[in-house]
Structure 1
Amino acid sequence: FTNAGAFLFKLVIMLIALELCQRFKASPSLVFGATRAAWSLDLLLGSSLFAVYQQLSGTYPQLLQTISLFLVVVVVVAFLFVFTERDRTSILSPQEDAETTSTQSRCEAIALHFDLSERETEVLNLVAKGRSTPRIQEELHISAHTVNSHIQHVYQKLKVHSRQEILDVVDAWQKKSD
């Protein structure tokens, strides 16, 4: 049971390391090597902490329970307040395919060219992916009115009148960059 728990913990750490590697464009070999080195130290650290625990367990009989409770609280607090929902879902979600990345990079290039705001760029990217107003509202945690307002600003800046024309601009931008 302990080995299975340790294996799952290491698997989650590797997934987090992979996500950080992709997000910050770090070398996968370097990140993998660093996590493996840290795992190698866990045996030494665990043995040392166990020796300290054995010495203190006679004086503090509830020491193990107290430490366990403290660590659980730390993990819960980190999960709730340190990581955003986007971080929590992106770590274990499937990676974006090349087409999605291409669409996103085209939208960012269009946003730079037409001077779109950050939020307008996010809306443009979601419209280019074919998302509806309710879906954009849900993903960005904004009201439908705000989504429609951003879409209208995108229409004005790109000088288009419909979502289809936005898709045409994104497709034409791909042909320009090829």
Structure 2
Amino acid sequence: MLLIMYFGVLGMKGYVPIGIAFGFSGAFIRLGIATGNTLALIYEANPSFALVATTATAIIFVCILSAIIIPLVRQEYNITKLMAPPATESLQEQRIKELAKEFSLSARETEIVMLIARGFTTDNVAKKLVISPYTVNTHIRHVYEKIGIHKRSELIDYINGNGSGESGN
């Protein structure tokens, strides 16, 4: 059951196409049924073998099931995480969106401010967004002009609600 649930969640979250997830879960069920039926036929055809091998086979099956079920149960926590609703927006992200609306920041400027608020350097922002550091600096300069501040620390204070947004003239 856990395996079917796991594939279902992977399919629903888009990690695996639904058809493939359904196919794998169905295949595992059919594999288990086929294995059980094959062993039943072998034991039915050889009653003397069944008397000797039944205990050994039962112990082997218990070991195999344990080896399969224990990791799957541990994966149940991952299933729970996958099924959890998306994380709510942080207070900082909300404040940045309000700031973007208030000062008419462009989408790119807002994105750069979000990264700066998370502690990214100019070079890191440039690498993440695949743009030049000079372009990042230009966007930052435009943000400073629109908000009326002069340095990164003032921007961080403004975002965190510690500053008034004034440049302290």
TM-score normalised by L of structure 1: 0.46
Q: Which has the higher helix share?
A: 1
Based on CA coordinates, which of the two structures has the bigger radius of gyration? 2
